[in-house]
Amino acid sequence: MFTNKIKHFLIELKDDILDFVYPQSCPICQKPLGREETDICEDCWKTLAFLPAPFCPYCKSFLEDNHTLVEHLCPYLSKPEDRKILAVKSLGTFDDHYKKLIHRFKYDRKIPLGKRLAQCLGKVVAQDEDFTNCDLIIPVPLHRARHRERGFNQSEVLAEGVSQAIDLPLAKQILKRKKNTRDQTYLNAQQRTENVRDAFVVTQPEKINNKAVILIDDVITTGATLNECARMLEETGAKIIFAVTLAVVVE
């Protein structure tokens, strides 16, 4: 563990030196960043599009009011009980803009950018009473091997920002990933579901019993990871499950 901390410190130091010697450019417009700008220029930040409402994680249709949150009949689900997650809120769609920002945050270790995105995400979530009336926030966990490799869990960074924005407790230890699953990026929907099946375990079921929880991840594609997390939470006592992500992939 100590060796990994040194390795990640040296990587961050190298990145800081490179940023100083070779000034960064905005990942969206490619223009050099100004002296007071970090990771993205202010013009591009202001043009980021936000989604207007929560949506169904399965058919990706918007849910405009409380009534449809409860009674939405998703054509992708054969039985109502298959619906583990009531609704999802995301900043935007996984277009080129969000894709570049999330890649820079997640794989280039630009944690300050992730924190800024988390603050913005928190402001969006704070506008919806269905989410703010929940009991606690749970980030989607990384396997310990993946965490050592990356040095941080991007979902925890996002969850911390949302937790601060809506004043809900953050529970990092309740949900654990017990299987080091394959990267989902190049898997189809069925493969994604099989890949994460039984990958998670709830370690403290008494803390979620009869509670409304918010799951947080970086991107929702088919919903396989979030749905598997929600299945485990529901089976161990969670009453209502929402989800929050930075972006949603739409066809």
Expressed as residue numbers, the domain containing 34 is: 1-47
Q: How far apart are CA 120 and CA 109, in angstroms?
A: 19
Asked if 150 and 35 sit in the same domain, the reply is no
Question: Does residue 28 share a domain with residue 128?
Answer: no
Count: domains in the chain: 2
List the beta bridge partners of residue 214.
137, 242
Give me the helices (H) in 126-223, please: 129-132, 144-150, 154-166, 189-196
- In the prediction, which pLDDT does 149 show? 87
Q: Judge whether 113 and 39 are in contact, CB under 8 Å.
A: yes
Higher pLDDT, 224 or 19: 224
Same domain, 68 and 96: yes
pLDDT digits (tens, 9 = 90+) for 190-246: 899 898 999 999 999 999 999 999 999 999 999 999 999 999 999 999 999 999 999
What pLDDT sits at residue 78?
83
How high is the mean pLDDT of the chain? 88
Say whether both 1 and 73 belong to one domain. Answer: no
Q: Are residues 111 and 142 in the same domain?
A: yes
For residues 188 and 192, what is the distance between their CA atoms, to the nearest angstrom?
6
- Do 98 and 207 share a structural domain? yes
Same domain as 131, residue 15: no
Pair 64, 156 in one domain: yes
Give the pLDDT score at 8.
46
Separation of alpha carbons 229 and 214, rounded Å: 11
Same domain for 237 and 193: yes
The torsion region of residue 48 among left (phi > 0), alpha (psi -120 to 50) and beta comes to beta
What whole-number distance in Å separates Cα of residue 92 and Cα of residue 89?
9
**Strand, helix or coil at 108?**
coil
- Whether residue 141 is found in the same domain as residue 244: yes
Quick one: 91 and 23 in the same domain? no
Give the domain CATH number at 238: 3.40.50.2020
Amino acid at 248: V
Q: Are residues 202 and 129 in the same domain?
A: yes
pLDDT at 129: 93
Q: Which residues contact 47 (CB under 8 A, 6 or more apart)?
A: 97
pLDDT at residue 229, rounded to an integer? 97
